[in-house]
Structure 1
């Protein structure tokens, strides 16, 4: 509709001509239905079975490589860490094992804990257990 014309009267416009596509007009004066010509080409949707098989095999190989890397990781722990943590008095075994797990995950803290004096270890354990365990 044009901006200054009454409702119901169509706006007169020229349509650009696109090669290979014929325009379909709706209305009573339509002589016959015209459709776009696509030359029988269709988009390929999804993946082919061969591609799915390749991706599945690649996924399996990557998982195996990741497992091999994890298994070959060397465990670098201070040799006295377990004994120093477990021998601390005044704490239950659950708290000591949680502390040992934390110190094993954080190598620098574990080495520092072994190097501390006994009084400082007790202070560190009280603070850490109080903050994280209880």
Structure 2
């Protein structure tokens, strides 16, 4: 009986550790994705109301997303921000059409929302399922 108690306690401790570690990892990813979703939504709102970003705002985006190490952004996130800024600058200088810019923003938003919702799936709290899926 004592053996079963010890195994049960060890299993519960293991599950708590797994839950905590994986939850924190996913929360950090969700935070970074949420920041990108906000940026894309700002681009959509500004596009719909014909309000371009000001140079000061672009500098804030670059400094806060690309040069601030306090945010939970990785290389992929920084690549997405650089891509957004490149597409925005091309739209601003009339290198791409309004339709292409609008498509980019809406398509990017759909992909980011999918990624955000994917991180909320409960099966992601298992090391084994993460590896197999």
TM range (shorter): 0.3 to 0.5
Report the TM-score when normalising by structure 2.
0.34
By relative contact order (CA 8 Å, sep 6+), the higher-ranking structure is: 2
Structure with bigger helix share is 2
Report the TM-score when normalising by structure 1.
0.34
